[in-house]
Structure 1
């Protein structure tokens, strides 16, 4: 498509000094601008993908993918109970559904935890030891103390709870529930001390700061749930496909039950992330457009400075198409080289984001990342091929488009007018 001499002339124009009518300074400005814009776009897309991946991974790694709950039934005394009877039978039926990896009956309740003169509200989940080992983020946490083997004789707590109460593995804390024994004077709070057998750090502030696991049988006694469970928690092979599995799960669960998926509980966060992704891509796309417009200004200056050369080339027999291709090569080359540099910088940033973040944190004196606000414990980045290709495609497309207009202007220049005053 491009002749060898076209490349030669375009390259000579690009590296020409300003005294020779070149645009070397504008070339460097355009090159640096595009490189920085592409770098910013790839880095932002990588962090965006990392946020979503880490956010979803901590949700599906520490929470059930699907919860099967009961609509409830009215007891003889008029109270409404939403507990699940025959929970083992129901869990067995649900585990037979294709792509269901586990079905775990649990008991849940909110209580006050107290230790070392400190208090914290916690969410207690009663679960069997074997089932707890199937919770990925708990069985393989970021950090841990103690061992899951000690869970049978105690409880497992999140790192945030341990930090708030000042306890660790082997210490004792007290759980206080307002829903205790029924006495002639009414219900009395139930208080019981438990040994901390295991401390885990999932990496999400809202989980580590409230989550407490208790053996299932003990939780039934503590929360007055003898013979029943509060819900059946399911994990599936592909958490993103839980909506498609809903009919099969409902058929297995039977009447009087409903499903609550991880997408239902985290729907607001996911929608906020999606909206933020779209807005950030649009804003950074404008940044890339502004950077590529430097190519246009540089080429306009080059065409003006090279008017005499264009007239001579046209009188030598070169066509308008040849002149257009020469100046298109000039602008497109800047876009391609700048994009390549930006891709390298953006990929390097995503790959070595931890050292970069640690350096920035050191310069700022620490405290740059507040996990109580961001919910996750560190700045994530995930480099995906689709994000890199979208950034490259956007940059190259804009570079090529903005190059066409000054290139056409050069091609349509009248050689007589270009040489009249020479």
Structure 2
């Protein structure tokens, strides 16, 4: 009785490696091996790049939202100004007290009363609509993406002497630092003959870049007291912007913020504003993973074709090895290793290409943009200015595990076929 050898012995690796290095007479096997190798490499690289880009896009999207907007906005339900008048207002008269109570809630790092309205911005013969935020200079400094000196122009210390404007809005209007723009509000002074538009001129003292095109194109910051006067909010505020320590779990603060805000308090979080988009991103991530997984599966199926051809070409060798004492298990492992080698090498090559491509994604996009003459990445559509990529260990592990798993599974059928080959039948016509 033939002695049994330990699984995956050295000679099994040696035989499998020799079979992969097909001679010219077995060129078909060699071609199929290279096709499998290239297919797996490209499939794994595409999967890693896609996962990195999707993760980077979500991270950049969330970071620009949280870096430029409140995590939670606290506002009041409309109340009748004078009982029986039929006139309702949601203006907060006790905004200082509310902000102080909210700031004392554990986990709250910022509570800033603001005046929020829309106005027409005019400079020369150019006009645009802007969303105006009335805010104090101290609170403006606490907004990370807005108060970033590396991406902004001007001195935030001079905010009290004028207004701050988004870079895209300034570009469209042709405005620079020190220029005076007109703000026009349709809800101006109330006179016996009706409400007249209010027009004031303000000096642009600060131009910011938040990282989000839609914010930079529409947002203007104005000193809080000036905004109260300009938009008829004397003695009141529209909202209180709140930031918390863990914005991903912002809903955990809902009860505490509602209690601290007092009767009539209502909340609107960043998840309420962007939750549907983030859910759509998650669904798209899952769909893209499934689609690219199918591509990897198709690439690994070429391993099966190559191994079937290899088994057919090596029928005589299998018969000789069996008569020399190799067991069915050894034969199975030899041909399993043939397919596994292809899967492992292709996966490692795809991993290297995917990681390098992801790390230099901006350089690649710049080259593609240059080839196409510009306009490949439109921030007005995607909201952010560049294509981000974020490599995550879990994504890399998923891609590598998928590729190796499929590569190992598809080799089992042809390897079993080789192991069950009758040595007498294999040598009968040799």
- What TM-score comes out, normalization by structure 1 length? 0.98
SS in 1 for 2:142: coil
Please state how far the C-alpha of 1:254 moved relative to its aligned partner: 2.1
Matches within 5 A, 1:142-161: 143-161=151-169
| Range that drifts further, 15-24 or 188-197 | 15-24
Q: Which residue of 1 aligns with 2:129?
A: 121
Query: Could you tell me how far apart the structure 2 residues matched to 1:244 and 1:15 are?
Result: 61
SS in 2 for 1:53: helix
Deviations 1:280-303 (A, max 9, x none): 111111111111111111101001
SS in 2 for 1:23: helix
Please state how far the C-alpha of 1:253 moved relative to its aligned partner: 1.6
Matches within 5 A, 1:356-375: 356-375=364-383
Given candidates 209, 214, 230, the residue that maps to 1:206 is 214
Query: Could you tell me how far apart the structure 2 residues matched to 1:75 and 1:125 are?
Result: 24
Tell me, yes or no, if structure 1 residue 387 matches structure 2 residue 395: yes
Given candidates 27, 30, 53, the residue that maps to 2:33 is 27
Query: Could you tell me how far apart the structure 1 residues matched to 2:30 and 2:235 are?
Result: 81
SS in 2 for 1:109: strand
Q: Is the 8 A contact 1:175 1:193 kept in 2?
A: yes
Q: Which residue of 2 aligns with 1:317?
A: 325
Matches within 5 A, 1:208-223: 208-223=216-231
Deviations 1:141-169 (A, max 9, x none): 66321111111110001011101111011
Q: Which residue of 1 aligns with 2:53?
A: 47
Given candidates 9, 13, 19, the residue that maps to 1:7 is 13
Given candidates 36, 39, 44, the residue that maps to 2:42 is 36
Q: Is the 8 A contact 1:142 1:202 kept in 2?
A: no
Query: Could you tell me how far apart the structure 1 residues matched to 2:407 and 2:312 are?
Result: 20
Deviations 1:101-148 (A, max 9, x none): 110000000111100211101000001101001000001166321111
Please state how far the C-alpha of 1:346 moved relative to its aligned partner: 0.5
Query: Could you tell me how far apart the structure 2 residues matched to 1:57 and 1:20 are?
Result: 56
Given candidates 372, 376, 383, the residue that maps to 2:384 is 376
- What TM-score comes out, normalization by structure 2 length? 0.96
Query: Could you tell me how far apart the structure 2 residues matched to 1:94 and 1:266 are?
Result: 23
Q: Which residue of 2 aligns with 1:241?
A: 249
Q: CA RMSD in A?
A: 1.2
| Range that drifts further, 12-21 or 153-162 | 12-21
Q: Which residue of 1 aligns with 2:414?
A: 406
Please state how far the C-alpha of 1:98 moved relative to its aligned partner: 1.4
| Range that drifts further, 57-66 or 355-364 | 355-364
SS in 2 for 1:138: coil
Given candidates 15, 23, 29, the residue that maps to 1:17 is 23
Q: Is the 8 A contact 1:15 1:22 kept in 2?
A: no
Q: Which residue of 1 aligns with 2:307?
A: 299
Runs of 4+ in 1 over 6 A off after TM superposition: none
SS in 1 for 2:374: coil
Deviations 1:172-231 (A, max 9, x none): 110000111101110000110000010011121111110000011111111111111101
- 5+ unaligned residues in a row in structure 2: which ranges? 1-6
Q: Which residue of 2 aligns with 1:68?
A: 74
Query: Could you tell me how far apart the structure 1 residues matched to 2:67 and 2:98 are?
Result: 23
Please state how far the C-alpha of 1:23 moved relative to its aligned partner: 2.1
SS in 2 for 1:110: strand
- 5+ unaligned residues in a row in structure 1: which ranges? none
Query: Could you tell me how far apart the structure 1 residues matched to 2:95 and 2:223 are?
Result: 16
SS in 1 for 2:283: helix
